[in-house]
Amino acid sequence: MLSFLGPQMNSVYNACSWLDFAFTIAESMGIHRSTSSLGVSTKDKGRVKRLWWTLAVRDAYCAALLGRPFRINIPQCDVSMLELEDFASEFADGQNQDSAFYQIEVARLSIIARAIIQRRFHSSDVYVDLTDLQEDLQAWRSQLPPGLTLQGSTSNKNIFAVSLELLYHQHIILLHFDRANCPSSSSMSRTANIASASSATVAAQAIASSASSLVTNHMTSRLPHEVFMGFFISGIVYYRQINSSDPLVSQIARASLDNCRMLLHEARDAWDLAHWSIRIFDFLLSRAQDQALTVQAEKAPVDDHTSDRAASNVFGEDISGLHQQDLSMDPLDFADLPDLSIPGTFDDFLLMPNFFLPSA
């Protein structure tokens, strides 16, 4: 539970070390082995399996977000996958089965997530083909219980259905994210690269478009923390498109990026890394604006009308004189909102994976 604060990686006690403590204790109790289920009651068997897979899920998404190695080596652990009977003692009355199905599906998805993340390290012995992983994701999604899909759910406020949908799209983005860094990318056909970028954009669109409804329906504080990374990486996808030569694409990308920033801002006090995510985008956008100013100054004198429209970004910097196109899309000014204090230190940022710097 203590891993839900931080990461505060400059401290001995941080999200990763709390998970480490939990893994160490769990291993000391034998929870990582199927043998541990031997002899314990059904209720206790279910409890230890739920505990183990919760740790495994947290480990997977902690590694995905921070770029750290996995703490749990799944092939060395032979705990069987969660199933409905592991929740029998908790939801004996048949109520809240969605909760059980949700956790089962997230555990299954975390296995795919591990393969996607391992693919980033380009290790030959764990490298899984992109097409195979995409098929796995689609198969996982197609096998979701009807009540856990947005199509099958009776309400678009079903937190489990919404979370699984967000997680699916988040994985699609992660899968197609680092094609520029992938050693095989140079040999990839242009068509494949375009298709990959398109898949990431469609997934980012699905995530960004959900932001406003989540905020207006006050669902942000109810979301599992694993989904917040999706808004961060969707923002990165859209940041890359802001510099598109097509003004329409650029403007839509900026609006969608602001959608993601809006949700991250809403979640910032519950999910601490949102602070850094917001500041990263602020930094990149301010740099892009500086570059635009430089280009404009080289091309023509600054237009007086434009320079009169003084404005400031979230850092309080004077951004008057921006290109007319930039000013027509006022960014969300989160500095107007209270409490932008950031927990942790800059070390936290340095420990985040290199999601998008190559393209920045």
Partner 1 sequence: MDGKNDCILVDSQRGLYQRVGRHRAQSNRSRTPVEAPAAVDSGTDRSSVLTIPSSDGPVLSRRLRYGATHSDLPGRSLAGMFEDFVEERERGGMGIILFGEASPLTFALEEHTGDQACFYDARPTLSSNKQLVDRPREIHPPHCSSEDIAYLVAKGAFTLPDPQTFQVYFDTFMTRFYPLYTIVNRSELLEAHNRNTLPWIMLHGICLIGATFCDASVIHRTNYKSRAEARQAYYRRSIWYSQTFKNPNY
Tell which positions 269-298 bind partner 1, by CB under 8 A.
269-270, 272
> How near is the Cβ of 58 to partner 1 at its closest, in Å?
8
Residue 341 is a binding residue for partner 1 (CB under 8 A): yes
Residue 37 is a binding residue for partner 1 (CB under 8 A): yes
Residue 136 is a binding residue for partner 1 (CB under 8 A): yes
Dist. CA 8–CA 294, nearest whole Å: 37
> How near is the Cβ of 314 to partner 1 at its closest, in Å?
18
Residue 157 is a binding residue for partner 1 (CB under 8 A): no
Please identify which residue in 93, 94, 125, 183 interacts with partner 1, judged by CB under 8 A.
125
The sign of the CA dihedral 150, 156, 159, 162 is positive
Torsion of CA 91, 96, 98, 100, to 10 degrees: -30
Burial of 279 (0-12, 13-18, 19+ CB in 10 A): middle
Tell which positions 3-32 bind partner 1, by CB under 8 A.
4-5, 13, 25, 28-31
Residue 50 is a binding residue for partner 1 (CB under 8 A): yes
Residue 127 is a binding residue for partner 1 (CB under 8 A): yes
Q: Binding mask 215-254 vs partner 1 (x if CB under 8 A, - otherwise)?
A: ---x--xx-x------------------------------
- Toward partner 1, which CB reaches closer, 88 or 329? 88
Which among 4, 108, 128 has a CA at the least distance from the CA of 57? 108
The angle at the Cα of 333, spanning 230 to 350, to the nearest 5 degrees, equals: 50
**Count of CB atoms situated within 10 Å of the CB of 79:** 21
Residue 337 is a binding residue for partner 1 (CB under 8 A): no
Per 3-state DSSP, what percentage of the chain is helix, strand, and coil (rounded to 5)?
Answer: 65, 0, 35
Residue 74 is a binding residue for partner 1 (CB under 8 A): yes
Q: How many CA atoms lie less than 13 Å away from 190 in the CB half-sphere? A: 0
Any bridge partners for residue 318, and if so which? Answer: 312
Please identify which residue in 54, 193, 205, 251 interacts with partner 1, judged by CB under 8 A.
54
Residue 154 is a binding residue for partner 1 (CB under 8 A): no
